[in-house]
């Protein structure tokens, strides 16, 4: 019986929907979870059973930078040893590449960190990427897992048509730039979320105060509240523009609820907008008002049916040949 190891090891304890849904795909293929709780849980005897085991490695590249966003040699050595450990115990090691480099990386460290990420990739059997447009040797495309659709009442007073943004309030998401660009003549934009960087949260608050049709609510939404919030909106806004990002999980939250999605200069959105124009819209530079979605609900519904059929009609991990 084939087995698998999933990293981070404690993925079940922090209830990350991405991890739980990805693992359900693995288990649907008949693989047995033997993930240890920590590194010490690796049994030397299992080296001789490595042909039966594969590993899925997520966010290991976060070890490469310190809390200050700078390269850390200790973190690189740790990540390197972890990849070697996985290669010892597993016949196949899949490095899941979520970003080009960690979001917190300082720009003057980004180039070297990106190179160190490529070193980790070379130790993997295959690199899993969630952006179909990226074609590289040893890369294999697997669509980003979707979320579970649920609805809860949201304690925010919203009246009329509106555009939505929700999620963490972080600088790399270019939220202040979005607020400043939002046309005064457009339908209201509601931004709901929280962030650890209080200075940046205050910048978003200040920017929103200077706009008559932008409203910022410093509140963390449950999945059900977020679902209700975006499902009732005209479209979900994805303002991310950084070079660090490959895909945004918020995009796939929006896909789960079958709403139109507007991206700003994000390559992943540009690629999807060419294939599924009734769902995805890519805007570069200035936002023109009114934002013309240009499709009725039936058009969006049909396009989503095509999207689901293309990417989720069967287990996406079959492509790995496990």
Asked whether 154 and 229 are in contact (CB, 8 A), the reply is yes
Give yes or no for residue 83 having a pLDDT over 80: yes
For residue 21, give the H/E element and its range: helix 17-28
- Indicate the pLDDT class of residue 292, thresholds 50, 70 and 90: low
- Give the mean model confidence (pLDDT) for residues 196-222: 95
Structure token pair of residue 238: 């994805």
- Residue 132: DSSP 8-state: T
67/202 same-domain check: no
Could you tell me which residues come within 8 angstroms of residue 296 by beta carbon, excluding any fewer than 6 positions away?
none
Q: How many domains does the chain have?
A: 2
| pLDDT for 296 | 61
Does residue 317 sit within a domain? no
Place of tokens 């124009």: 277
Give yes or no for residue 39 having a pLDDT over 80: no
Does residue 155 sit within a domain? no
| pLDDT for 229 | 95
Continuous H helices in 184-296 = 198-209, 223-231, 249-256, 267-275
119/234 same-domain check: no
Does residue 93 sit within a domain? yes
For the chain, give the mean pLDDT. Answer: 91
| pLDDT for 264 | 83
Does residue 320 sit within a domain? no
109/171 same-domain check: no
Q: pLDDT over 70 for what percent of the chain?
A: 96
Question: What distance, in Å, lies between the first and last C-alpha atoms of the chain?
Answer: 11
User: What is the C-alpha to C-alpha distance for residues 227 and 235, in angstroms, rounded to an integer?
Assistant: 12
Give yes or no for residue 289 having a pLDDT over 80: no
Asked whether 174 and 200 are in contact (CB, 8 A), the reply is no
Which phi and psi angles does 9 have, rounded to 5°? -60, -35
211/128 same-domain check: no
Query: Among candidates 254, 205, 264, 211, which has minimal Cα distance to 234?
Result: 254
18/87 same-domain check: yes
- Indicate the pLDDT class of residue 47, thresholds 50, 70 and 90: confident
Does residue 16 sit within a domain? yes
For residue 80, give the H/E element and its range: helix 73-89
121/199 same-domain check: no
Structure token pair of residue 118: 């490529």
Give yes or no for residue 216 having a pLDDT over 70: yes
Structural domain of 217: 163-310
| pLDDT for 71 | 95
Q: Using one digit for the tens of pLDDT, what is the confidence trace for 146-183?
A: 998 888 888 888 878 999 999 999 998 999 999 999 99
Give yes or no for residue 295 having a pLDDT over 70: no
126/172 same-domain check: no
- Give the mean model confidence (pLDDT) for residues 252-262: 93
Give yes or no for residue 248 having a pLDDT over 60: yes
Give yes or no for residue 221 having a pLDDT over 70: yes
Give yes or no for residue 258 having a pLDDT over 60: yes
Q: Using one digit for the tens of pLDDT, what is the confidence trace for 95-134?
A: 999 999 999 999 999 999 999 999 999 999 999 999 999 9
pTM score, whole prediction = 0.91
**C-alpha dist (Å) from residue 95 to 56, 122, 141, 162, 214:** 6, 9, 12, 39, 40
């Amino acid at each position: 019986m084939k087995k698998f190891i999933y990293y981070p090891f404690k993925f079940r304890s922090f209830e990350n929907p991405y991890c739980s849904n990805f693992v359900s795909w693995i288990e649907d293929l008949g693989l047995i979870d033997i993930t240890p709780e920590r590194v010490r849980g690796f049994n030397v005897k299992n080296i001789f059973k490595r042909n039966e085991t594969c590993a899925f490695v997520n966010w290991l590249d976060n070890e490469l930078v310190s809390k200050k966003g700078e390269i850390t040699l200790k973190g690189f050595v740790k990540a390197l040893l972890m990849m070697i450990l996985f290669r010892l115990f597993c016949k196949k090691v899949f490095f899941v590449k979520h970003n080009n480099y960690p979001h917190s990386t300082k720009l003057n460290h980004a180039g070297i960190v990106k190179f160190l990420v490529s070193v980790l990739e070379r130790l993997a059997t295959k690199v899993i990427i969630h952006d179909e447009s990226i074609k590289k040797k040893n890369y294999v495309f697997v669509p980003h897992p979707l979320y579970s659709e649920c609805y809860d009442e949201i304690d925010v007073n919203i009246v009329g048509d509106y555009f939505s943004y929700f999620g963490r309030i972080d600088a790399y998401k270019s939220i202040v730039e979005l607020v400043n660009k939002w046309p005064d003549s457009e339908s209201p934009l509601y931004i709901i979320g929280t962030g650890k960087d209080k200075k940046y949260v205050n910048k978003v608050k200040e920017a929103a105060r200077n706009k008559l049709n932008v409203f910022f609510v410093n509140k963390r939404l449950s999945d059900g509240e977020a679902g209700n919030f975006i499902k009732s909106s005209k479209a979900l806004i994805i303002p991310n523009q950084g070079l660090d990002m490959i895909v945004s999980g918020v995009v796939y939250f929006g896909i789960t609820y079958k709403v139109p999605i507007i991206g700003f200069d994000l390559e992943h959105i540009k690629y999807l907008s060419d294939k599924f124009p009734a769902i995805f819209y890519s805007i570069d530079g200035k936002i023109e008002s009114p934002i013309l979605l240009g499709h009725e609900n039936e058009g969006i519904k049909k396009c989503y049916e095509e999207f689901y059929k293309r990417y989720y009609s069967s287990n996406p991990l079959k492509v790995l040949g496990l």
